[in-house]
Amino acid sequence: FFFSVRVYVKLNHNSPRILCLTNQLRNLELIDPIFQWTGPGGGLSSENSSVKISPSGTLILRHFNQSGVYTCSIVYKLTAMQPVEHLIIKYLIYVYKIQVLCIHIYIKRNMQQQGKGNGGVKSKVEDLISYLNWVPYFGFFAASFSWFLFLCSFFPATLISAKHLIERFFKQQVENTRKSSEPLPKIYYIEGTLQMVRVDCCSPGYGMNAQMHPECPECCVVCSPGSYNPSNGNHCLQCDRSLIYGATKC
């Protein structure tokens, strides 16, 4: 017989107790059962500090971080007179992360960089952008204006500070433009168009997929082979050349 089961384990946490038995066999007395576990890297043994296998074949994976197929094989008899039975249970074990806080930033401006005159605030915002590793997420041009959407990850403690710095930066852009007697530069921030939306998103290499993972629809599950997530989006993208779990490149 052959069974396939999905299990989800939080990154660097211990797995639940993974049984090498079906619900039916748990209620029976088995004669001389022999259990054997294999994982993505080959056979599993309690000699490995990250693996614990009980005498009854129950598996616990410590500090889990290696997604993949884990297979349990059990050979047993129900009575001394009956032939040997062989059962295989395949577990697809996925590592997942909790969602992180992200912010979408929409800015309307024209096509060339804003002029000077932002002082320390500009420097702080640039440092903040560098620290938070902002990446372009989406952008398109319409006439002489463009909308820019950026996505970045925040720790909760820095979210409010980052929001205030960004708002102050663009407020000074407007004030400096009003005070200047020079013609408007070719690109400048359009007052009142800054929008920031707080959302939950996944880390690179992880994504949400309610169809593929209905048991964990809001989890950021590691991208399976054949998919990848290069940034902090919410979904793993298809890539036939990706052969590993957690790919960030195609």
* pLDDT tens digits along 195-244: 777 777 888 999 999 999 999 888 999 999 999 999 867 899 999 999 99
What confidence score (pLDDT) does residue 18 get? 94
What confidence score (pLDDT) does residue 183 get? 75
Q: Between 171 and 37, where is the model more confident? A: 37
Q: Is the pLDDT of residue 12 over 70?
A: yes
Cβ 3 vs Cβ 73: under 8 Å = no
What confidence score (pLDDT) does residue 185 get? 66
Q: Where in the chain is the domain with CATH 2.60.40.10?
A: 5-95
What confidence score (pLDDT) does residue 17 get? 94
What confidence score (pLDDT) does residue 104 get? 67
pTM of the model: 0.68
pLDDT confidence tier of residue 21, bands split at 50, 70 and 90: confident
| Token reading at 5 | 């089961």
Q: Between 125 and 182, where is the model more confident? A: 182
Q: Is the CATH code 3.40.50.1970 the one for domain 5-95? A: no
Sort 179 into a burial class: Cβ within 10 Å, 0-12 / 13-18 / 19+.
exposed
Q: Is the pLDDT of residue 146 over 80?
A: no
Partners of residue 187 on adjacent β-strands: none
* pLDDT tens digits along 72-111: 999 988 888 888 989 899 999 999 998 877 766 666 655 4
Q: What is the mean pLDDT of residues 8-32?
A: 89
Q: Is the pLDDT of residue 35 over 70?
A: yes
Give the rounded percent of residues in the chain with a pLDDT score beyond 90. 37
- What's the whole-number average pLDDT of the chain? 77
